[in-house]
Amino acid sequence: MSTSASLSGLRLVVSAGPTYEDIDPVRFIGNRSSGKMGFAIAGAAARRGAQVVLVAGPVSLPTPADVQRVDVRSAAQMHEAVLAALPADAYIGAAAVADFAPAQAASSKIKKQAGQDSMTLTLVRTRDILADVADHPHRPRIVVGFAAETDHVEAYARGKLEKKRLDLIAANRVGMAGTGFESDDNALTVYAADGAVHALGPAAKTQLADALLDLIAQRLTE
C-alpha cells in the first residue's frame, strides 16, 4: 500500500495510450502516445487500495498489479468501454484519443493507381469521451483530463477545462527535451476548476502519477 493518501473503497476509471483509426486493413491514423502516464496512474491508484479499470489503447505495456484492463483500438471502442465502466468515483482521461477518424475504413488494402498523385481521405469527428463522461447521468465526482499541446499550453488547457466541465486538467508541452509521449519523464501543470494551479515535475511519470492522485484524493475526501 502506498504511504500516500489512501483510495481504499473508491472506484477509478483510467484511459491510457493512443487510439488507432483504421484506413484499411494495413494502415491507420495514430499518434505517439506510449500509455506510460495512464498505466502509472492506474498502478499507483491500485496500490492505494482503489478498484481500478484501465481502458488501454494499443500499447504493449504490462498490466499493473490488481488492475482490471480493457483493451481497445479505436476512439469509438474506447468511448464505449469508458462509459460501460461507469459509475465511478473518478475518471482520469490520460489517453491521447483521436479527434477525427476515417469516415469509412476500406475492406481491402487501398492501392495507388497509375498516374495518381494524390488521394483525398474524408475524416469525421469522433465522440468526445471527456465531455460525455462529464455530462453522464453517472458522472464521476472527479473528472480529470489531459492536454498535450505544442503552444499556448495554458490557454488551451483552461479552455478545455471550462468547455468540457472538468474538475482538473493536467497540461504538458509536447516537444520539451526529455519529457512527453515516449519518455519515462514528464512535467505537468494541473489546473483546477476552482482556480487552483499545481506545478508537478519535471519528474518520472511514476512520481507524477502519485502527485496527481494526491490532488484527486484530497478532492474526493473533502
Residue numbers annotated as active site: 31
Q: Grid coordinates representing 125?
A: 469527428
- The Cα–Cα gap between 213 and 6 comes to 9
How distant, in Å, are the alpha carbons of 33, 127, 163, 164, 190 from that of 203? Answer: 18, 32, 29, 28, 14
- List the beta bridge partners of residue 145: 93, 169
Beta carbons of 30 and 21 less than 8 angstroms apart = yes
Cα–Cα distance for residue pair 156/137, rounded to 1 Å = 27
Residue 155, C-beta contacts closer than 8 angstroms, at least 6 positions apart: none
Crossing angle for the helix pair 36-47 and 205-220, nearest 10 degrees?
50
7-30 CB burial, b ≥16 within 10 A, e <16: beebbbbbbbbbbbbbbeeebbbb
The CA angle 188-85-88, to the nearest 5 degrees, is: 65
